[in-house]
Amino acid sequence: MQKLVHRILINLSPILVHEINISIFASKSRNMAKISVTHYLNKRLKPSYGIGKYQNELAYPIYIRISYGRKNQRIRSQWLHFDATEREFANDLRIQEIIKYETEIIEDVLNNINDNDLYLNTGLMLYLCDLTNNYLTCMFGNLKEISRYIVQYLTDKTHFSENLIIHSTNIEYAISNYYTHIDWYELLDNNVFPENIKHYIIYLSLLYEFESIYYCKKDDAFDYEIGSILNLYEWKNKEANKKFIAFAKAKNILDKVELDRITQEFNNNLKEYIKGAVRFNFTSM
């Protein structure tokens, strides 16, 4: 546990030259409204310059225009967070794959919520961010419940006052961004958490370990291949859920009944969380 203690204390409307359009129908939607998703270079924003073989060519941020029924919305691409040149946008195969991926996610959001008042930028972020962050939010809310147990443990371990620990470290930020499955297992080994949340922490530890083996931790400063991040879309639509259950059962550190129960609770909470988070008004045209 000294490793964890040490780490915590140290960290005291657009001009469209190139567009890619994918039209799909929301088959589950009550009114069968047509969805049109168009990725484009937003040339109204200040350009940068391409790199590599696109050096010295003007590059622009990639945006998405979504039309759903009579509603329209424009948002920035959450995965294609870099600027692209016209040639790069039109010819890069990775960009085409990501465009398809984001389009599938937008379709999934609209199919499962059946509400015209959606803020899809939030929906995309929730679908693409690390699933572990969604688990922390859905199962523990603002993290105050679990952070107070960690603060108490650090207070006992370091003999510093609780106020000093709280004011010199940002426990909740560290939990969301720096803790690994090793940290959570160490906390469990030291009986930091009471029985009523212990099973949820074991599940979280397994989720972090599963992610560390099969996926990458998302960092917006880097580019990733499709399927390399354990996110909500991979969990719901690409069988990451089933793979995790098989992995957790093989580890055999959480009772199978509890594993299934917490998974069901997590999935239900995720559904309600997404519904509540993405409701917002479209901009009518």
Q: How many angstroms separate the Cα of 21 from the Cα of each of 37, 107, 274?
A: 6, 13, 25
CA dist list (Å): 35 to 15, 64, 197, 240, 283 = 21, 12, 42, 27, 15
Residue 247, CA distances (Å) to 52, 78, 106, 111, 207 in order: 41, 29, 29, 30, 9
The CA-to-CA distance between both ends of the chain, in Å, stands at 57
Per-residue pLDDT at 32: 55
| Alpha carbons 153 and 192: distance in angstroms, whole number | 6
**Per-residue model confidence (pLDDT) at position 285:** 24
What residue ranges in 17-129 does DSSP mark as E strands?
19-25, 34-41, 48-49, 58-60, 62-68, 71-76, 84-85
Positions of E strands within 50-107: 58-60, 62-68, 71-76, 84-85
Q: What is the pLDDT of residue 281?
A: 29
Helix (H, G, I), strand (E, B) or coil at 208: helix
Amino acid symbol at 251: K
Distance CA 241, CA 230 (A): 10
Question: pTM here?
Answer: 0.76
- The predicted pLDDT at position 17 comes to 40
Confidence at residue 14, expressed as pLDDT on a 0 to 100 scale? 38
Cβ 222 vs Cβ 79: under 8 Å: no
Between the alpha carbon of residue 174 and those of residues 8, 41, 121, the distances in Å are: 8, 36, 25
Residue-level pLDDT, tens digit, the chain, 285 residues: 545 544 444 443 333 345 554 433 334 444 456 788 899 999 999 999 999 999 999 999 999 998 877 778 888 888 888 899 999 999 999 999 999 988 988 888 777 665 545 566 676 777 878 899 889 988 987 788 888 899 888 888 888 887 777 777 778 888 888 899 999 999 999 999 999 999 999 999 999 999 999 998 766 555 667 778 898 889 988 899 999 999 999 999 999 999 999 999 999 988 888 776 544 322 322
Count how many Cα atoms sit within 13 Å of the Cα of residue 228 in the half-sphere of its side chain: 11
Pairing of strands 58-60, 19-25: unpaired
How confident is the model at residue 31, as a pLDDT? 46
